Amino acid sequence: MTSLPTPTTWRAWLTADAPASRRQARAASLYQGWQRLRANRLTMLGLAVLALLVLAAIFAPLLAPYSPYAQSLGDRLLPPGSEGHLLGTDSLGRDILSRLLFGARISLYIVLLVVLVAPVLGLLVGTIAGYAGGIVDTVLMRVTDIFLAFPRLILALAFVSALGAGIENAVLAISLTAWPPYARIARAETLTFRGADFIHAVRLQGAGPVRIVTRHIWPLCVPSLVIRVTLDMAGIILTAAGLGFLGLGARPPSPEWGAMISGGSDYLLDSWWVATIPGLAIFAVSLAFNLIGDGLRDVLDPKDSGQ
């Protein structure tokens, strides 16, 4: 009977000086990246905060002591720690902790949808512009410049005003304003690799433009885009919260963090916790994404690979 490999055996396999296969080389690269990531304490702190957010979103129905929509006007504006409400209540007597936990689901939902749309669109536009060049590059980059000329939040407000309030429209608006930086990065990377010897070799073997872009250029652009995506997640959350604050994101009584801040802004002086606690949640999650992005930049950036 074959014995299971021990952790020591796995470590020796992952740290071998001469990988015996492509699979082993990929696994060794991932392992070395994780080791560098784990050595960064701030990045691990960001990962811990993000893990808590994900767990809170998944187990919100089990962790929340009350329904996020249950109102009790007799318990309105209770301070934190009073009468079974750990973080207090809002102006309608709703438990802030419960709404905060369920609001984590909305924040993650918005972030995931934007991440699935904006980087993909930017990668497509940037690589096409960089590889095709000429008039195609000029037209696509001028369109990108038009989007970059407007502040992201102002442009998102314009799109949401035209599309109507709602989470889906907010996600679409944020995605339409978030893709230009990814297109710029993808174009710069494509211009760097377009004239490389391995691209010429692949072209001589009969590969067409679509195969070259999708199989050989896209994988080289992904690390830079992953870094940018991670650093942009904080901005995505802030933009979504800004739309919610203005009443153009999630609709009441949805427990979206920006909408919670908006609902508590009228009571900021007397009942500070109503707006401050969701604001602190946005701050903590945004900081966590920035810390993770800095760590991933150290690991994935090829210019820093020698450090």
Q: What is the pLDDT along the chain (307 residues), one digit of tens a residue?
A: 444 456 667 777 667 666 667 776 777 777 777 788 888 899 899 999 999 999 999 999 999 999 999 888 888 888 998 878 899 999 888 999 999 999 999 888 888 888 889 999 999 999 999 998 889 999 999 999 998 888 888 888 888 888 887 888 888 888 888 899 999 999 998 998 888 888 888 888 888 888 888 888 888 888 888 888 888 888 888 888 888 888 787 777 888 888 888 888 888 888 899 999 999 999 999 999 889 888 888 777 655 544 4
CA separation for the pair 260, 99 (Å, rounded) = 8
pLDDT at 145: 92
User: What distances in angstroms separate CA 201 from CA 32, 38, 196, 217, 218, one per listed residue?
Assistant: 30, 38, 9, 14, 17
pLDDT at 55: 93
pLDDT at 293: 85
pLDDT at 268: 84
pLDDT at 17: 65
Cβ(199)–Cβ(138) below 8 Å: no
| Cα–Cα nearest to 111, from 59, 62, 53 | 53
| Cα–Cα nearest to 297, from 29, 33, 17, 60 | 33
| Cα–Cα nearest to 169, from 69, 244, 263, 262 | 244
pLDDT at 296: 84
Q: Domain 96-307 adopts which CATH fold?
A: MetI-like fold (1.10.3720)
pTM beyond cutoff 0.95: no
Q: What share of the chain is helix, strand, coil (3-state, %, to 5)?
A: 75, 0, 25
